[in-house]
Structure 1
Amino acid sequence: MILRTKHSREAWLHEAGGTSYDRDETSKWSMIWHLQVPPKLKVFLWRLARLSMPTGLVLKHRQMVTEDSYPLCGAVDTWKHALITCPMAASVWALAPQELVQHMVEREDENPKEWLFTIHDLLSQELFDRLVVTLWALWGVKRKAIHENLFQPPHSVNTFISSYLFERQAICLSFSYPRPNYLWLLYLPR
């Protein structure tokens, strides 16, 4: 990581393009930042890809907790378990479109960044948006269950996801209508 940063900075100082890995990595991050989702979801994806979500494994690695188990089911709390394989998350994914779930299950990546970039290349924009909103909603459900002791049934989570996507689409459509062009004339008194 330090060596890669050093090479990137040297390339920037000498106005070179950097390595092809750097350009490819930059284009993939650019894809994340140009998604048509609210900024809080982009930040969520960035934190997920950078492994900075406070899962049990990350917190234990940083010596902030002594146990890395998931409080709801007792399994090791990783990003993948919390958002995909946990029975609570799996019950929400069971209500998602089959094509989305099929591509998710086929990916065995343990690195969330590579997993996200691969999934993005495989899914349509609509399905990828649904994936992002579902991951974000599942993270919120997890946090509420752990910290507030509020458990939401899978159907209510799925309803939230669908209504969130519908409202976001309605907002985007309302801004896509052409605005009337007004010609402003400057009136100068004689």
Structure 2
Amino acid sequence: MLDGTGVFTVRSAYNALLTQALGTQQIRFTCVVWKIKIPPKVKIFIWRLFVNALPTKEQLLNKNVALQAYQQRCPFCNDALETIHHVIFSCCYVDRVWK
């Protein structure tokens, strides 16, 4: 029984798992993301960015997918491992696109 009603719901299970994995402060942020009036695909992108769930080479390596060294690099700058942080915040090529 994950909520006060004693009835199992997918939402209660999701919230319990999210609390366990992320903590309460991050849960508040994810709730805010879903309430913002933006297109659903943007909400999903922001949420996946926040919970480190965007598909990157780093994610493949974490799941033990064998990649050659050259395949692990950022496809835009070919300078660093393709991580969410690199692609969104520190890639010089993507920085020019954002600007």
TM over 0.5: yes
Give the equivalent residue in structure 2 for 1:77: 82
Letter aligned with residue 79 of structure 1: I
Partners of 2:65 and 2:32 in 1: CA distance? 33
Q: Deviations over 1:64-89 (max 9, x none)?
A: 24243213322111111111211111
Structure 1 position 41, deviation (Å) = 0.7
Aligned residue pairs: how many?
Answer: 81
Distance in 2 separating the partners of 1:63 and 1:54 = 14
Match of 2:27 in 1: 26
What is the percentage of aligned positions where both structures have the same residue? 26
Structure of higher RCO (CA pairs closer than 8 Å, 6+ residues apart): 1
Deviations 1:110-152 (A, max 9, x none): xxxxxxxxxxxxxxxxxxxxxxxxxxxxxxxxxxxxxxxxxxx
1:91 Cα shift?
1.2
Matching residue of 1:54: 55
Gapped regions of structure 2 (runs ≥ 5): 7-15
State the superposition RMSD in angstroms: 2.7
Assess, with a 3 A threshold, how the Cα gap between structure 1 residues 72 and 84 changes in structure 2: closer, same or farther: same
Amino acid of the residue matched to residue 58 of structure 1?
Answer: Q
Which residue pairs with 1:188 in the alignment? none
Amino acid at match of 1:81: H
Find the residue that maps to 2:53 and give its secondary structure.
coil
Deviation at 1:14, TM superposition (A): 7.7
The corresponding residue for 1:91 is 96
Supply the distance in 1 between the matched residues of 2:48 and 2:76 (Cα, whole angstroms).
22
Distance 1:59 1:52 in 2: 11
- Residue 73 of structure 1 aligns to a residue whose secondary structure is coil
Structure 1 stretches lacking a partner, 5+ long? 1-7, 96-190
Q: Does the 8 Å CA contact 2:76/2:94 hold for their aligned counterparts?
A: no
